[in-house]
Copies of this chain bind each other. A is one copy, B any other.
């Protein structure tokens, strides 16, 4: 008996998420923005930030720590900047609003920065860079997150995984860097634990701040190491980048920051800070896309150590994943995920998510 492999078309995942959000009182326009965000994460292969987080988002809507219909509002602006109050709305709605504004301003004056406070978790940071790229801008984005990173020399977490994204290029050729400033996010520890494998030294620490190779210990402590790992391997740089992200997002916007950011999923309002920068390459040296493609090409053409593993640029793994999803006609979720979606459909009294057998 061969195992049955199920796939769910992207538009069905989208429909399911929209229905879930509407069932908990979200207006259609915002439910659609939210669904697009989660589906894009899964489509790009960032499963930790897609359907996997749907129940968490629904729980913070139900416990009223996030208002899914709140409209973001501009509080102050110049021709090149804006300060936005997210009004505790959906992070994906706040993010889209802010990057839209940033793009309009960058089209006018070349570069712009829009920062929001009163926001919530906004999904993958990369989606906002992609939003800018669709409008021929370079997009940069920062968000602070709940404190789970040990600063170098510390034994308590003081900063978040504080991701940043950077995207440049057009549909033909592009680079999209979307990274946490910790070595890895918690999801990678979960995977290692499930496989019964140890983790490399440089990922996480035990409760006393000593490096561990046991994923369970790292998950229990909630103490991740910054990119670079320990001090002698440059971990102070990853820690510095995490601090940079918090200054860019939390400190400019006036949101929560550092240890003041509550854990995701609780009853407390998150009040996250997020910053969106758009840059219009047309105001600088002509020929931006040509030079970019040339640079990406020369890096990809670097002789690889192992001929079966070519050098990739950030965004290439996602492109490969999307092509695979397209060829198989949809997303393949693990069984746990399908079961929890089925339960959610029942609970919210909506049509379950339909899947099809992969042929």
Mark A residues whose CB is within 8 Å of B.
76, 78-81, 83, 109-113, 115, 117, 138, 150-156, 158-159, 166, 168, 175, 177, 179, 183-184, 200, 202-203, 208-210, 227-229, 232-234, 236-238, 240-241, 243-244, 246-247, 250-254, 257-259, 277, 279, 281, 283-288, 291-292, 295, 298-299, 302-306, 309-314
Contact = CB atoms under 8 A, between A and B. Distances in A.
Contacts of A283: 76, 78, 81, 83
Contacts of A109: 78-81, 109
Contact of A299 (B138, B258, B277): B258
A217 to B, nearest CB: 16
Contact of A298 (B168, B208, B258, B288): B258
27 contacts: A76-B284, A78-B283, A81-B109, A81-B110, A81-B283, A117-B285, A151-B299, A152-B311, A153-B311, A154-B305, A156-B303, A168-B247, A177-B240, A177-B241, A183-B228, A183-B234, A227-B227, A227-B234, A228-B234, A229-B233, A247-B292, A247-B295, A250-B291, A252-B285, A253-B284, A254-B285, A258-B298
A175 to B, nearest CB: 6
Contact of A158 (B80, B302, B310): B302
Given A78-B283, A79-B109, A166 B257 contact: no
A302 B175 contact: no
Given A151-B299, A154-B305, A110 B240 contact: no
Contacts of A232: 200
A305 B155 contact: yes
Contact of A243 (B78, B83, B156, B299): B299
Contacts of A285: 83, 115, 117, 252-254
Given A184-B234, A285-B254, A304-B154, A113 B111 contact: yes
A223 to B, nearest CB: 11
Given A227-B234, A238-B227, A83 B175 contact: no
A67 to B, nearest CB: 21
A111 B80 contact: yes
